[in-house]
Structure 1
Amino acid sequence: MNADIIEEISIDCVVFGFNKQNLEVLLVQHAEGESKGKWGLLGGWVKTKESTDDAAHRIVYELTSLENIYLEQLKAFTDPDRVISERVITIGYYTLLNREDYNIKAGLKVFEAKWHKINEIPDLIFDHNEILNFSLMHLRNRVRQAPIGFNLLPEKFTLLQLMHLYEEILGVELDKSNFRRKILHMKLLVELNEKQQEVSHRAAKLYKFDSEIYKKLTEKGFNFEF
């Protein structure tokens, strides 16, 4: 076997979730190997006879019981020193989830699977902080071009909830009146004859997405700068 041939390919998945007001990422605490006890992204090896896409879905399921989720490939991370003990190339993936729709269960290879706020991320194993930062940058670019983050919201939501989502993803504070004017001008939302229920403050109007407009904007893209 030629010692110059790279044999090890892994997968690392960034799973973003939105918890009402906070953007979070799912991390696992490893239960074995040199990274035992440390936190990292959802990762594992690619098997000989599976594609990287199949490997990504298998790994996520084995570590957290999450299945039937959409995973988008980011890029390969190839720094020769990303893993000290051996030469490993990893393929990064990411996804966005509405946390309330999924039940997370830690697999046998990890002590714990836990959501962390995006601004409270610990030091992760290997180059996982770099992979996470790249994923977040990619996410911020994408939400300005397509409504990909909207699946993090419930079916019916307020304009304030939508604004909080974009503030969390973009890492900025948005002007409430400007956001309202621009989002309503897009004709993307359907105003419902309903208001929030069981809230201590003044109940706000509820909206949902116009599925046809949503589909068109997703296909052709748009400028979503605020």
Structure 2
Amino acid sequence: MYTYEYPRPALTVDCIIFGLGENSLKVLLIERADEPFKGMWALPGGFVDMDETIDDAARRELEEETGIKGMFMEQLYTFGDVNRDPRGRVVSVAYYALVNLSEYNVKPGSDARRAEWHEVNQLPPLAFDHALIFETALKRLKGKVRYQPIGFELLPEKFALSQLQRVYELILNKELDKRNFRKKILGMGLLIELPERQKGVSHRAAKLYKFDKAKYRQLEAEGFMFEI
């Protein structure tokens, strides 16, 4: 039987799930039920089983600890600081996603006391090196939303320009000039103006638009660069 000459580190996954609410950007955390760091808040995650892929492990751990399943997550980065886990040599592969809060109900699972959304600007102390993982994911998200049209995925099929601008302001955590934002987004030619206006609003009803996914894919293939 073959034996490895070198010791093998353990492998874990961590999931950074950003949720967009009406007035804030949040991240999903679990309260740890076991040591180490029992009672502290952490990102959902856990050890990779010997018979599963890393992607499968991320989906399984997210479902086990928060009840969320079927979500697409993108691989973020691998964290391998020697002393990042007091249990021994552990390397973690982090995944992240951006979702609409209204579409997901979270519930604590196997080794989590609680699973809750926390505002990104008011996070409690986090276990392990999860503060570093979170900051890395937030930086990636703020960069990606500027050069890929992921913001449209958080809106209803028909939306007003003010709703779209609000999505970007919440993610980037800053106010955007209304005139410049509208000029830039309309100038891309990726929105379909609809013969409809908002309904059931207290203010003046705004025009509604749709994101033209087919046109974006065509332009992207031709070298078009989306940029906010």
Q: Report the TM-score when normalising by structure 2.
A: 0.90
2:225 to 214, 222, 226: 222
Q: Give ranges in structure 2 of 5+ residues lacking alignment.
A: none
Please list the CA deviations of residues 122-146 of structure 1 after superposition, one character each: whole Å capped at 9, or x if unmatched.
2111111110110111112222221
Counterparts of 2:25 and 2:216, CA distance in 1: 22
Amino acid at match of 2:163: Q
Counterparts of 1:216 and 1:148, CA distance in 2: 17
2:115 to 90, 97, 113: 113
- Whether the 8 Å contact between 2:48 and 2:54 is mirrored in structure 1 is yes
- Whether the 8 Å contact between 1:96 and 1:149 is mirrored in structure 2 is no
The 1:118/1:218 distance shift into structure 2, 3 A limit, reads farther
1:63 to 59, 62, 65: 65
Counterparts of 2:103 and 2:179, CA distance in 1: 31
Note the 1:4-43 alignment, pairs <5 A.
5-43=7-45
Stretch of structure 1 that moved more, 212-221 or 43-52:
212-221
Tell me the matched-pair count.
225
Tell me which stretches of 4 or more aligned residues in structure 1 moved more than 3 Å. 1-4, 216-221
Amino acid at match of 1:93: Y
The 1:16/1:143 distance shift into structure 2, 3 A limit, reads same
The 1:208/1:45 distance shift into structure 2, 3 A limit, reads same
Note the 1:198-213 alignment, pairs <5 A.
198-213=200-215
Give the match for residue 51 of structure 1.
53
Counterparts of 1:59 and 1:45, CA distance in 2: 8
SS at match of 1:113: strand
SS at match of 1:144: helix
The 1:122/1:163 distance shift into structure 2, 3 A limit, reads same
1:74 to 62, 73, 76: 76
Amino acid at match of 1:224: E
Question: Aligned-residue CA RMSD in angstroms?
Answer: 1.9
CA shift, 1:4, in A, is 5.5
Note the 1:161-176 alignment, pairs <5 A.
161-176=163-178
Counterparts of 1:57 and 1:215, CA distance in 2: 28
SS at match of 1:15: strand
Please list the CA deviations of residues 174-214 of structure 1 after superposition, one character each: whole Å capped at 9, or x if unmatched.
10110011101111111222222222222222222112123
SS at match of 2:78: strand
Please list the CA deviations of residues 29-78 of structure 1 after superposition, one character each: whole Å capped at 9, or x if unmatched.
11222222111111111001111111001111111221111111111101
